[in-house]
Amino acid sequence: MTAVEAFAQFEATWRPQVEATLEALLPQGQGQVGQVEEGMRYAVLGGGKRLRALAVLAAAAAVGGEPAQALPAAAAVEVLHAYSLVHDDLPAMDNADQRRGQPSVHKAFGEATAILVGDALLTFAFELLGRLPALAGVSEAVSLACVRDLAVAAGSQGLVGGQEADIRAEELEPSESLLQAIHDGKTGALFGACFRLGARIGGGTEEQVEALGRFGQELGHVFQIVDDLLDVVGDPALLGKAVQADAAQQKLTYPRLYGVEAARQMARDRLDQALTLLEGLDAAVLRGLAERVIHRVR
Amino acid sequence: MTAVEAFAQFEATWRPQVEATLEALLPQGQGQVGQVEEGMRYAVLGGGKRLRALAVLAAAAAVGGEPAQALPAAAAVEVLHAYSLVHDDLPAMDNADQRRGQPSVHKAFGEATAILVGDALLTFAFELLGRLPALAGVSEAVSLACVRDLAVAAGSQGLVGGQEADIRAEELEPSESLLQAIHDGKTGALFGACFRLGARIGGGTEEQVEALGRFGQELGHVFQIVDDLLDVVGDPALLGKAVQADAAQQKLTYPRLYGVEAARQMARDRLDQALTLLEGLDAAVLRGLAERVIHRVR
């Protein structure tokens, strides 16, 4: 079985479990605060590739753990990812009307509610990690380490910092180092955290947590290069959103800085380099996940 | 020494420590993401009464703990409170130009950065709680319980839910139960969490955590009634923001529903009832804090 097949089988088994876990854990829209909770479900349950969740589960398996035990943490990273999309789509940010082929949250629920939906999702991601001992039988020490990992990845030196760099890039001199900072934050940090969480919950050593975290960080860069490429050459019907948005907003991207072909090659080289971090692990599924990331069309 | 004097002495000792802790723990504005971290410092360090932080410290002391050990958790609740103000002030929410006598964050840094500043502060609050074992010598079990408490208080059934109810109140029939839901979420939940966190870190029993949490929830209601009253009868120079904003936005408030005098009396009655929850605790400072809350003019 090739790595691509191994991942396809893993995805077929676990993606429905991720959906079911999200469905079960998300609040149901109680009482007078129903709009926000309805918006939370709309933002999270509206499809999505679940690559981050599958990364958590696959990392747990790669260190000898049980993917099922990592499902609540996988749900937490999908919830956090959904928050970042809701806020990024806001009029003051990327002003995106569509997401996954549907109206973005602020288009469907209004801007004030969209801000609150994002806030509630970000908060809920940490609630889930705080509940890992009850939800997944994980130790308090591991759960708390997951809280720290996700907070650092999501914070001002991670996801939020990447968004800031992305927004401010148009005022600054385009450079490789600025582009790295954008990708480190926008995607690298959270992908890194996915692998760290999975490795922790799977019972990995601190060395394995670090190695898988670095692999995830690199895979996040590759994901973002492909994301930038898809905005230039992708199919809007498959993507479920408009293309050429980056160029319209003068975003700093790999294709803008190096051209499409060179950017493609850089993604491949970067991924091949990153794959060496997986030596010594039971990592066919992770290698297949990596191929999915670089060959994705949506 | 009266309760008011006990609290004044406590405040004189600990408020500067809260400021110093926030100053030391907040990120310093590194690299290309300096704007967001500068905005975080602007939002948190711009004054404020620090009543929530002092509640954490006083609750720790009330169960026999050491306030100093609760300083990082006190910083976390102030950081979380600051996030909620930054997002509430946004144009799509309360559209407030001023806060504590200064331009609100979106006026000073722009709307996109203000959204990110709020997101980063919310995330940082959980990072701090995740680091309590290292920062404060607190057990992993207690730290994780603090994460859960704060997440529940801040989420869709707490702070965010209160904001939603507040925004949507103008479309709904004014009622006592809607007003309760607004206050429960907007202020009750976070005040409750402050007391729970302090009681946990101070080594309180689960019964003490619950009793102090309920006291905090009630004190939050009283705080919010006074807040609504100050918007009608307060001095804008002392408050550092415009008054009559609630009436302009047709907010559902105690003075609107019952009139100023009845609202004052309801706050007093509610506080007297709540104070019975403190029986059996070493609670002079907490009683003084309660008097501060009900007599505050800013």
pLDDT value at residue B233: 85
pLDDT 10s digits, B155-214: 999 999 999 988 888 788 888 888 998 999 989 999 999 999 999 999 999 999 999 999
Please choose, from the candidates B138, B143, B72, the residue with its C-alpha nearest in 3D space to the C-alpha of residue A148: B143
B147 touching A (Cβ < 8 Å): yes
pLDDT value at residue A268: 95
pLDDT 10s digits, B106-139: 999 999 999 999 999 999 999 999 999 999 999 9
| CB A288 within 8 Å of CB A4 | yes
Confidence of residue B79 (pLDDT cuts 50, 70, 90): very high
pLDDT 10s digits, A251-298: 889 998 999 999 999 999 999 999 999 998 989 999 999 999 999 877
B155 touching A (Cβ < 8 Å): yes
| Domain total in chain B | 1
Taking CA atoms, A130 is separated from A82, A141, A196, in Å, by 19, 11, 16
Mutation target among A144, A163, A249 for the B interface, most CBs of B within 10 A: A144
B25 touching A (Cβ < 8 Å): no
| CB A14 within 8 Å of CB A52 | no
| CB A271 within 8 Å of CB A294 | yes
Compute the distance between CA of residue A62 and CA of residue A79 in angstroms, rounded to an integer.
23
* pTM recorded for the entire structure: 0.95
What Rg do the C-alpha atoms of chain A give, in angstroms? 18
Which CATH number goes with the domain that contains B63?
Answer: 1.10.600.10
Compute the distance between CA of residue A274 and CA of residue A266 in angstroms, rounded to an integer.
12
Model ipTM over 0.90:
yes
pLDDT value at residue A234: 83
Compute the distance between CA of residue B63 and CA of residue B10 in angstroms, rounded to an integer.
15
The encoded tokens of residue B164 equal 């939603």
What is the average pLDDT score of chain B? 93
pLDDT 10s digits, A115-139: 999 999 999 999 999 999 999 999 9
Please choose, from the candidates A207, A163, A208, the residue with its C-alpha nearest in 3D space to the C-alpha of residue A189: A163
Is residue A1 classed as helix, strand or coil in its secondary structure?
Answer: coil
Q: Please tell me which of the candidates A87, A93, A156 has its beta carbon nearest to residue B37.
A: A156
pLDDT 10s digits, B7-36: 999 999 999 999 999 999 999 876 555 899
Helices B189-201, B140-154: axis angle to 10 degrees equals 170
The verdict on a CB contact (< 8 Å) between B160 and A120 is yes
Mean pLDDT of B54-68: 97
pLDDT value at residue B284: 94
One DSSP character per residue, B37-92 reads HHHHHHHHHS----HHHHHHHHHHHHTT--GGGGHHHHHHHHHHHHHHHHHHTSTT
The verdict on a CB contact (< 8 Å) between A116 and B178 is no
Please choose, from the candidates A194, A243, A236, the residue with its C-alpha nearest in 3D space to the C-alpha of residue A219: A194
In sequence order, the 6+-apart residues with CB closer than 8 A to the CB of B81 are B48, B52, B190
Q: How many residues are listed for chain A in this entry?
A: 298
pLDDT value at residue B33: 54
Asked if residue A206 has pLDDT above 70, the reply is: yes
One DSSP character per residue, B109-127 reads H-HHHHHHHHHHHHHHHHH
Amino acid at B18: V
pLDDT 10s digits, A4-50: 999 999 999 999 999 999 999 999 876 555 899 999 999 999 778 99
Helices B284-295, B206-233: axis angle to 10 degrees equals 20
Asked if residue A61 has pLDDT above 80, the reply is: yes
Runs of H (alpha helix) within chain A: 3-25, 34-45, 51-62, 71-88, 105-109, 111-130, 132-136, 140-154, 159-168, 176-183, 189-201, 206-233, 236-239, 245-248, 254-258, 260-275, 284-295
pLDDT 10s digits, A73-86: 999 999 999 999 99
A249 touching B (Cβ < 8 Å): no
Runs of H (alpha helix) within B171-283: 176-183, 189-201, 206-233, 236-239, 245-248, 254-258, 260-275
Q: Please tell me which of the candidates B87, B145, B147 has its beta carbon nearest to residue A115.
A: B87
The verdict on a CB contact (< 8 Å) between B112 and A124 is no
Residues of A in contact with B141 (CB under 8 A): 140
pLDDT 10s digits, B277-287: 999 898 999 99
pLDDT value at residue B250: 78
Q: Which domain holds residue B51?
A: 3-295
Compute the distance between CA of residue B112 and CA of residue B117 in angstroms, rounded to an integer.
9
Taking CA atoms, B35 is separated from A22, A79, A116, A165, B30, in Å, by 34, 26, 23, 9, 9
